[in-house]
Amino acid sequence: MHALGLTILLAAGVVPNAQVGVRLAGEARAPDAFATAPGGPGGELTVTPSIDTWLQGDRFRLRLGYSLEMGWQTEALQPTPDLLHEGRLTYTTRLSPRLELSASAWGRAGTETWLLSLTQSPTTVDLLPQVGRIQVAAATGSAGLRYRTSPTQTISLTLGYDASGGLDTPSRAVLPLYYGPTGRLAIRQRIGPLDEVGGNVTASHTELSIGSAYDLLGLAGVWRHDLGPRTRIVPLVGVVVARDARVLDVLPPANLYPQANVDIEHRFVFSDSELAVVGRVWLGPAVNRIDGTLESRAGLSASVAWRLGRRFTAGLGTDEIWVLARNPLVDGGLQSVAARAAWTLATGMRIETGLRFYSQQLPTRSQLPVLLQDGWAVTVGFVATIGTEPTPPRDRERDDRRRLGSEQ
């Protein structure tokens, strides 16, 4: 029966593939970042088996995946591990030379060990962390249509839904539940071989289990310009209208937030290696998932990725996020610098290493105004897989453009 089903798929031009793998990783981190016993660093061991399957035809591609992450933390002092189940789905198909449909879904649920609160010792002024296990979940899904009205213009519509947070009441006291739908309408117009302009209309409704709810409507213009064959810059400027969804007035008060992004990318290509430099500066509103407030945030991110041959890759990145407030100007934030490297030993076997330094100042819902953390983390992992991911279907965009051009 299985052989008959495989024969039918192959006869219909559908190629099935599968990949099975496991990842073993160990992490050591700074004592003050997450430790119950003073003087020693914390640590974690994770084992993550996974399986991915693909069904691929002439004009479609479907991927289904599942993984189970088992983690043992030295701070938890519990023999049973944290378990996180993860599922993923992606689907793309070209319905016609003009129309493309895509859908994706991702979900994760299980237990995590968290730093629940900070308490003061009766005999000292040092702040001692308390560790606890909570039930968490996160899921996101989206479906979109992309329609090419002409060889130089496309219109796309995407609808989605996001949810994340604690599953039960004690867990939501630590990590409130965050959920709501999102939508995006975009138009892009190529005005030359090096330039593309467009506009975005975005809308979202966000609710938190602690009682906060917001409606956001955004309008932005974007311009993509190729400075050269390997350099691209993409600025975006817009405005976001936000209102408190709990206010039931006919015309509830609304606030305006500026929105701006600037992305730049450059690639250096050598005979046996490639170096990619990516940077981004952004400004816009965001909902604080801890205390439920709507904040104006700014950020800066930069990364460098290096690929040497087919076996070695390395990267260095930094992220800076600031929460903008009236007094003081900057109230809380996150700064981190991370380095990573991966070396392929043989087909299906890879070693991964990472080093991260971070400093964060996060608002809390306890009696303490903020939670300060500064520390480092070192990770070493080994990945083994059986099977390979299939090559995506041949991109027919050039053929479709030629066909559409003859239709115009």
> What pLDDT digit, counting tens, does each position of 7-17 carry?
545 544 567 88
Radius of gyration of the chain (CA): 24
Q: By the 8 A CB rule, do 166 and 184 touch? A: no
Q: What is the mean pLDDT of residues 176-194?
A: 94
For the chain, the distance separating the N- and C-terminal CA atoms, rounded to the nearest angstrom, is: 49
The predicted structure's pLDDT at residue 7: 55
* Least confident stretch, 63-67, 73-77, 87-91, 381-385: 73-77
- Is residue 64 scored above 50 in pLDDT? yes
The predicted structure's pLDDT at residue 408: 40
The predicted structure's pLDDT at residue 34: 42
Q: What is the mean pLDDT of residues 116-140?
A: 60
Report d(CA 153, CA 161) in Å as an integer. 27
Per-residue tokens: 127: 């702040």
Closest residue by Cα to residue 287 from 323, 238, 332, 329: 323
Q: Provide the residue ranges of all domains of the chain, joining segments of one domain with +.
A: 14-407
pLDDT tier for residue 325 given thresholds of 50, 70 and 90: low
Residue 389 makes CB contacts below 8 A (sequence gap 6+) with 17, 19, 52, 54
Per-residue tokens: 407: 């239709």
* Least confident stretch, 64-73, 78-87, 121-130, 151-160: 121-130
Q: By the 8 A CB rule, do 136 and 116 touch? A: no
DSSP state of 289: T
Is the C-alpha dihedral spanning 45, 31, 124, 373 positive or negative?
A: negative
Q: What are phi and psi of 4, to 5 degrees?
A: -65, -40
Q: What is the overall mean pLDDT for the chain?
A: 82
Residue 249 makes CB contacts below 8 A (sequence gap 6+) with none
Residue 402 vs residue 139, higher pLDDT: 139
Report d(CA 106, CA 52) in Å as an integer. 13
Report d(CA 87, CA 53) in Å as an integer. 12
Q: Which residues of 315-332 are buried (b: 16+ CB within 10 A; e: fewer)?
A: bebbbebbbbeeeeeebb
> What pLDDT digit, counting tens, does each position of 340-395 carry?
999 999 888 999 999 988 776 654 443 333 444 567 889 999 999 998 888 776 55
> What pLDDT digit, counting tens, does each position of 245-280 carry?
887 766 667 889 999 999 999 999 988 899 999 999
Residue 3 vs residue 240, higher pLDDT: 240
> What pLDDT digit, counting tens, does each position of 16-31 carry?
889 999 999 998 877 6
Residue 8 makes CB contacts below 8 A (sequence gap 6+) with none
Report d(CA 172, CA 179) in Å as an integer. 13
- Is residue 192 scored above 50 in pLDDT? yes
Closest residue by Cα to residue 189 from 226, 233, 150: 150
- Is residue 122 scored above 80 in pLDDT? no
Is the C-alpha dihedral spanning 52, 57, 58, 60 positive or negative?
A: negative
Residue type, position 178, single letter: Y
The predicted structure's pLDDT at residue 50: 96
Helix, strand, or coil (residue 407):
helix
Report the percentage of the chain scoring pLDDT > 70. 77
Closest residue by Cα to residue 101 from 89, 86, 88, 91: 91
Residue 301 vs residue 8, higher pLDDT: 301
* Least confident stretch, 90-104, 181-195, 237-251: 237-251
DSSP state of 264: E
The predicted structure's pLDDT at residue 316: 93
The predicted structure's pLDDT at residue 322: 76
The predicted structure's pLDDT at residue 159: 98
What is the pTM for the complete model shown? Answer: 0.81
> What pLDDT digit, counting tens, does each position of 76-88 carry?
666 778 899 999 9
14-407 architecture in CATH?
Answer: Beta Barrel (2.40)
Say how many C-beta atoms besides its own lie within 10 A of residue 396's C-beta.
14
Report d(CA 89, CA 105) in Å as an integer. 5
The predicted structure's pLDDT at residue 388: 81
